[in-house]
Homo-oligomer: A and B are copies of this chain.
Amino acid sequence: MSAAETHLDIPALMARMGAAARTAATTMAAAPSAAKDAALRALARRLREAGPALQAANQRDLEAARAAGLAEPMVDRLKLTPAVIATVAEGCEQIAAMPDPIGEITGVKRRPSGISVGQMRVPLGVFGMIYESRPNVTIEAASLALKSGNACILRGGSEALHSNLALAALVHAALQEAGLPATAVQLVPTTDRAAVGALITMPEYVDVIIPRGGKGLIERISAEAQVPVIKHLDGNCHTYVDAEVDLEMAVKVTDNAKTQKYSPCNATESLLVHAAQAAAFLPRIGDVFMAKGVEMRCCARAAALLGPRPRVHRASEADWGCEYLAPIISIKVVDSLDEAITHINRHGSHHTDAILTTNHPNAMRFLREVDSASVMVNASTRFADGFEYGLGAEIGISTDKFHARGPVGLEGLTSMKWVVLGQGEVRG
């Protein structure tokens, strides 16, 4: 915290920002699509033009991070490289090119009383977002807020403050260039943690909170927030290899689901294999995992089929519930589809689970009965992602069932209101 910041009255600052966001939200809700898209394109242009200035701000954060002894992977996430800037600028243009979700009217039906009833998509209002130290998230959140007609208050990671302030200045200039209020996107200009406490307890100004980061942070915010929270907790994803399956495909997809990247929440953490395929499948996937250095934590039957290898260990009961985010996978042999579904619903985190099968009824049962945000047939769990699903960018992935489930894009930031069109009808 700088000397100047110590004099900030945080509750007053947050209330001022909240009131400004509420006012801006009214303007944004009624803003023409053309103005919103012009702002997004202006933002893309300004991001590309601002290169050196952005680099300078980013450099301050990087130096401070290194001076503070931040681990190199954390420093990496802070970097606004030309490639990162090109990607977020392109993202803004992609969102500009998408249809405006706001104002869409659906399902209008004439009722026996004579009135016509339908629903209109409208913005939620103001969202608050609390996120890790990746400055590109600032632009992703701003662009989704803008397109969906919401206002937002952003609270990025402390280590990225200077980068985020520089990015926010570009957003403000782009909004004003398009005749929209700069206060539609506000960045909390302090690293004081009291700002988070205030942001999540202002129901008069903030309609929903989206926290991103570690599970502990998200649980604390959910417990203390006085408004709804779109939250993402665990991603303990399963791939289940059914009794009837194309083995070649099963090896390829299981490999990708586990090893394409270890850190994402949609990476497979647990492999279930039907007993009828276990003897054929497990040694093959075992070779792949051995070659890539993936540790296998196995039930007794899986361990026997994999044979004695240095990376094969016995799983403990706790392994079935584990989100490793690492080159580790739990492996279990099951005797039926029912056992697989029951295991997933009991030990999984209701994030993303896939069945690999050629049996149609089994595929349909898996889709219906596995209670997860994303259920897949013959595809890698790594596809559970807003961009892969065609949502444009994503503001997060929800592990809740309420309001938004799974990847949350523009629609997750909206709500449907009822529209009634009459010709003077009255109720009898």
List chain A positions with a Cβ less than 8 A from chain B: 26, 29-30, 103, 109, 111, 113, 115, 117, 120, 122, 124-125, 207-208, 228, 246, 249, 252-253, 255-257, 260, 345, 354, 367-369, 371-380, 382-384, 388-390, 400-403, 405-407, 415-427
Contact = CB atoms under 8 A, between A and B. Distances in A.
A362 to B, nearest CB: 14
Given A124-B401, A368-B103, A388 B424 contact: no
Given A378-B423, A401-B125, A373 B418 contact: yes
Given A345-B26, A367-B120, A424-B249, A417 B403 contact: no
A71 to B, nearest CB: 27
Tell which of A124, A249, A255, A371 has the most Cβ of chain B within 10 Å.
A371
Contacts of A380: 422, 425-427
B417 A383 contact: no
B390 A109 contact: yes
Contacts of A252: 424, 426
A111 B388 contact: yes
Nearest to A350: B417
A405 B418 contact: yes
A417 B406 contact: yes
A426 B249 CA distance: 10
Nearest to A365: B30
Given A103-B368, A402-B208, A379 B415 contact: no
**Chain A interface mostly:** mixed
B405 A402 contact: no
A108 B170 CA distance: 37
A406 B420 contact: no
A376 B417 contact: no
B420 A374 contact: yes
B419 A375 contact: yes
Contacts of A425: 253, 378-380, 383
Nearest to A124: B401
Given A228-B228, A377-B422, A422-B378, A417 B388 contact: no
A403 B405 contact: no
9 contacts: A29-B368, A30-B368, A113-B383, A120-B367, A379-B426, A380-B425, A380-B427, A402-B403, A405-B418
A399 to B, nearest CB: 12
A207 B371 CA distance: 13
A260 B115 CA distance: 17
Given A374-B417, A401-B207, A419-B375, A383 B256 contact: no
Nearest to A257: B426
Given A371-B29, A375-B420, A124 B402 contact: yes
Contacts of A208: 402
Contacts of A246: 424
A377 B415 CA distance: 20
Given A260-B426, A402-B403, A416-B405, A421 B379 contact: yes
Contacts of A124: 401-402
Contacts of A384: 418, 420
A103 B113 CA distance: 30
